[in-house]
Structure 1
Amino acid sequence: MEFRQLKYFLTVAEEGQITKAAERLHITQPPLSQQLILLERELGVKLLERNRKQVTLTEAGHVLHKRAEQMLELMRVTTDEIREVAEGVNGKLTIGTITSSGRSILPEHIQEFHKLYPKVSFDLRQGETHSILELLQAGIIELGIVRFPFDFTLYDFIALPEEPMVAVAKPPVFGESRGGSVRLDELRSEALLIHRRHENIILEYCHQMGFEPDILCTSDDITPLLIWARLGLGIAIVPQSSVHIFVGSALCVRQITSPLITTTRAVIWHKKRVLSPVAARFVEMFREPDEKT
């Protein structure tokens, strides 16, 4: 299986037609079809369903499509790393971050890093923790900013300061004041909007306080939870930093103080891969002063 064949396969999948794919690749149709046939023979499976008008992916084709994208991206990242080593501290830093950190903690570190290394460019991916871990595992990104827990046997990490969980609602659920705190059991009659990653701990605390919470929505992404809260559909329980996603919005935010629920983020990287010079320098920005000496 050659990278050229993977590129041809992806182009055909995107265009949905052999003719259009050949035009895009600046080759004729017969050699393109031949390479696809050779790829199917090598793998021993049918990747494409062909008819006169279009081609569609088989189930095996969908699997290869996902992996081929990752493999070609990994080749690009590897090429960038090799050039970076040869040329010094420049090149591209690939980072994946959860949405809340992309709006809060990351920008200030990027600003500081850019002043020190202006020749470095950035490739930033955002998503929830699971998707960031997938990108790290595939080698598409070097660094991730995620929330605990994750597999400590696979990743090295620097833990960032804990942050409290807050209750976010459309006024006047908490009254006109936007500050202050709230007890978790004060929300027993409210519809709750929670991130799936925090569902178990929130349920545990609610049960300890003697009530079954009314969970209207669980989500893998914090953004829709805040949107629903802004619409008055319920109260979102989210990490404090995520409130920065909607700067200036009319939302009341109260820290949950009884019990105090916290969450922790970390900068992580794969243990089995040597960090590029650029990534190693970026990681140093997150170490405590006594860790740098």
Structure 2
Amino acid sequence: MEIRVLRYFIALANERNISKAAESLHLTQPTLSRQLKELEDRLETTLFIRGNREIILTESGYFLLQKAKEIIDLVDRTEHNLSESSGDIQGQIAIGCGETEGMRIIAKTFNNLQSKYPNIIFHLYSGNADDVSERLENGLLDFGLLIDPADKNQYDFIKLPYQDRWGILMRRDSPLAHKDVIYPSDIVDQPLLVSRQSIVDNQLSGWLGRSINQNPIVATYNLIFNAAIMVEEGLGYALCLDQLIDTSSNQTLQFVPLDPPLEANLNLVWKKSQALSPASRAFLKELRHNLIRYP
């Protein structure tokens, strides 16, 4: 597959109209149609169906669209990172992270680096550890921010001076709201909202002293914001990390930590086999410098 044709396909998927897509690409409609038909023939599948008013992607078309965007993103970042001029460091840095207050360490490093090298662009991808690890493996991210427990065997990493604390997000009028800490016995048979990450399930099961699946799991979540809304509506208790939801200004929700305390270290990781761009090397240098003086 040619990169150029993948860009054509993405344009068609965005416009959902062959004429508009051709216009946006500065191509004639017959030329675009021929290129896309050759793409379908090469892949031996139907990518889209012409509807009465718009183009409709098939299941194969949606799959290709996702992969095409990933490929184009990787190509664009690679080209950008190779286009250094006059010794000035420039390029793009893509980092994936879950929700954590420890992101402030990375943000401060980005800020310092950008003041030195204003032509560096940062791309943030939010997701859980499974999402971030997959994108790292596929070369779509330069770095990932992973919360322990995490399998770091395939990565080089820097342990950051920050720990996240686990607890329960609940309504202020819930039966457990008066407690200063939450013990395992407090949430026996309570409806829980839990992270979808299997490695987190293992950690929480260890704290509970039994499988977390013995509790009624009413929902799983990827990122906590929408789960917090479900807690507000009375669906149950969310097992989550502290400081991700601002409960100080929220009249409905409060966070109560677990006891015994359950804390998680934070790591910046990157693939061992990965060739780092000048921008990425500059970022690591700046991060290490900041960590020396980090309070």
TM-score higher than 0.5 here?
Answer: yes
Counterpart Cα distance in 2 of 1:185 and 1:265: 28
Does the 8 Å CA contact 2:109/2:286 hold for their aligned counterparts? yes
Counterpart Cα distance in 1 of 2:239 and 2:70: 34
User: Structure 1 residues 209, 29: closer, same or farther in 2, change over 3 A?
Assistant: closer
| SS class of match (2:250) | coil
User: Structure 1 residues 222, 104: closer, same or farther in 2, change over 3 A?
Assistant: farther
Instruction: Show the counterpart of 1:273.
Output: 274
Deviations 1:33-92 (A, max 9, x none): 111122223333332334564433333322221211111111110111102476432333
Counterpart Cα distance in 2 of 1:175 and 1:53: 54
Does the 8 Å CA contact 2:95/2:123 hold for their aligned counterparts? yes
Counterpart Cα distance in 2 of 1:134 and 1:27: 36
Can you give the 5+ residue segments of structure 1 that lack an aligned partner in the other structure? none
Instruction: Show the counterpart of 1:92.
Output: 92
Counterpart Cα distance in 1 of 2:248 and 2:89: 34
Instruction: Show the counterpart of 1:42.
Output: 42
The 5-angstrom pairing of residues 17-96 of structure 1 reads 17-50=17-50, 53-84=53-84, 87-96=87-96
**Structure 2 counterpart of 1:249, which letter?**
N
**Structure 1 counterpart of 2:56, which letter?**
T
User: Structure 1 residues 182, 40: closer, same or farther in 2, change over 3 A?
Assistant: closer
| SS class of match (1:83) | coil
User: Structure 1 residues 54, 115: closer, same or farther in 2, change over 3 A?
Assistant: closer
Counterpart Cα distance in 1 of 2:113 and 2:248: 24
Counterpart Cα distance in 2 of 1:127 and 1:247: 25
User: Structure 1 residues 274, 111: closer, same or farther in 2, change over 3 A?
Assistant: same
Counterpart Cα distance in 2 of 1:186 and 1:166: 12
User: Structure 1 residues 71, 87: closer, same or farther in 2, change over 3 A?
Assistant: farther
How many residues align structurally? 286
Instruction: Show the counterpart of 1:242.
Output: 244
Counterpart Cα distance in 2 of 1:104 and 1:247: 19
With normalisation by structure 2, the TM-score equals 0.82
The 5-angstrom pairing of residues 185-224 of structure 1 reads 185-188=185-188, 190-197=190-197, 198-208=200-210, 212-224=214-226
Instruction: Show the counterpart of 2:131.
Output: 131
Counterpart Cα distance in 1 of 2:213 and 2:20: 60
Does the 8 Å CA contact 1:164/1:255 hold for their aligned counterparts? yes
CA drift of 1:204 comes to 4.0
With normalisation by structure 1, the TM-score equals 0.82
User: Structure 1 residues 20, 78: closer, same or farther in 2, change over 3 A?
Assistant: same
Deviations 1:108-163 (A, max 9, x none): 33334344444433222222222222332333321111224555343222233443
Higher helix share goes to which structure?
Answer: 1
**Structure 1 counterpart of 2:205, which letter?**
L
Instruction: Show the counterpart of 1:283.
Output: 284
Instruction: Show the counterpart of 2:265.
Output: 264
Can you give the 5+ residue segments of structure 2 that lack an aligned partner in the other structure? none
CA drift of 1:221 comes to 2.0
**Structure 2 counterpart of 1:280, which letter?**
R
User: Structure 1 residues 85, 147: closer, same or farther in 2, change over 3 A?
Assistant: farther
Instruction: Show the counterpart of 1:254.
Output: 256
| SS class of match (1:229) | helix
**Structure 1 counterpart of 2:227, which letter?**
L
User: Structure 1 residues 275, 53: closer, same or farther in 2, change over 3 A?
Assistant: same
